[in-house]
Structure 1
């Protein structure tokens, strides 16, 4: 059999994993549904009006980013240290197959479960809590594309953090990401402000910059389109780094 990927071996690995964690995943999906019901129901109740599509879209992305990052930060935790890591590393499957299983569960499978939970909660709130039925958030109409690019980047960060930090991966990864974001933002402002002679009003990394007396400065449309692929490229690099880190794990 291939030392990297064999479908029969991968299927056995997936069946073993699901047989051991199916109950936990089902409970997690139920907790997610309950949390969404409470959040959407509370916001609808206090405003006495159905949620607008823009509000639903904002809640969809915020909950997706939060819940997705939290779940992803746990999928490779079994390879951290101790007896659990020894059992995980000695399973008769390749490291690539173990990584692919974690990637599939934390990205496409999680997305399907989250979307199902969110729209079920949204429908129940709109018909049971709202004073009158409101329109549900349209799916795949383009509003979620920028957020999904950000989700892919955060998924890569959380996946790398789950194998890099043996304990409290979510908390430690969040601190590192926030620290890096602040550092990049400050350095970006300092460099651009010095370059423009102190006339910079505001600046967003990889985005527009406001110059006093001139208004916003933006990249040409042709160059700006290249930045669209930046989150995906960063996500791919982080996935590769997480896999490389996994291959380094030894008993």
Structure 2
């Protein structure tokens, strides 16, 4: 077991990682803050009404937090893709599992905590400035706001699943692509989503050729059918739990794929 994971060895690995990458992370935080400031400024200045709604703030939150997660996660394993840096990584006194666990924690847990902290500090500064100028500013739409929306619990669960899926997919992309991994992984994700949506649309047109339907983009979600002016909703019992289970399986497989690629790099 000690060959797989040792807490002392893992802590030494983490300390060395942050010591080596501290400047890079500081610059990344500054860039993230700058992008957040810029998006708030662009959105607010483009509106005629002197108001910052909860929806505006949530849109910026999704763009910067989810986008930043993809970019950061797709870059986390890039040192293994370059010859000189790869040799250094291979010589680190740590197991493959410890190296993967550190990258996983830094890119998911560490990023989430840091990015949210920076976002809300930047948001506070921007909105305080506009409040002094007389703008009407709504409170940030937190979890309780989501729950008060239509199908709020479902929306909250889906946002969470999408967030973790983005992380898992980006990790795989970081291990697969040697150069410009962020762009290539983004393009691959777009291809996967486009192929999935085309398949779903074709499937529904084939199954219901003479019935107007609202095709569901996610498996197990309710299907809305309209036939001769009458609307129907077809749903399986506990569909959200089935969707969560399927999502966890897919995400877990992506994480395993990333770990397997790491093993191949070190073989």
Scaled by the length of structure 1, the TM-score of the pair is: 0.91
More displaced 10-residue stretch of structure 1: 38-47 or 115-124: 38-47
- How far does residue 25 in structure 1 lie from its aligned partner after superposition? 0.2
Contact 2:223 2:235 survives alignment (8 Å): no
More displaced 10-residue stretch of structure 1: 44-53 or 30-39: 44-53
Contact 1:189 1:202 survives alignment (8 Å): no
Structure 2 partner of 1:40: 40
Count of residues in Structure 1 that have an aligned counterpart in Structure 2: 251
- State the distance in 2 between where 1:85 and 1:233 align: 30
- How far does residue 157 in structure 1 lie from its aligned partner after superposition? 0.2
- How far does residue 132 in structure 1 lie from its aligned partner after superposition? 3.2
Poorly superposed stretches of 4+, deviation over 6 Å: none
Greater RCO, CA 8 A, separation 6+: 1
For residues 67-78 of structure 1, what are the structure 2 equivalents within 5 Å? 67-78=68-79
Contact 1:127 1:133 survives alignment (8 Å): no
- How far does residue 212 in structure 1 lie from its aligned partner after superposition? 4.3
Of 152, 155, 171 in structure 1, the residue corresponding to residue 167 of structure 2 is: 155
- State the distance in 2 between where 1:169 and 1:106 align: 15
Q: 1:26-58 deviations in whole A, cap 9, x for unaligned?
A: 111111011101111221233242321122112
Of 191, 198, 201 in structure 2, the residue corresponding to residue 179 of structure 1 is: 191
Structure 2 partner of 1:248: 264
Residues 18 and 224 (structure 1), Cα distance of their counterparts in 2 relative to 1, 3 Å cut = closer
More displaced 10-residue stretch of structure 1: 43-52 or 199-208: 199-208
Provide the secondary structure at the position in 2 that maps to 1:75.
Answer: coil
Structure 2 partner of 1:13: 13
For the aligned residue pairs, the C-alpha RMSD in angstroms reads 2.1
More displaced 10-residue stretch of structure 1: 135-144 or 178-187: 135-144
Structure 1 partner of 2:149: none
Q: 1:203-249 deviations in whole A, cap 9, x for unaligned?
A: 13324444442436442342343213433332222111111111111
Unaligned runs of 5+ in 2: 147-155
Residues 189 and 132 (structure 1), Cα distance of their counterparts in 2 relative to 1, 3 Å cut = closer
- State the distance in 2 between where 1:142 and 1:134 align: 15
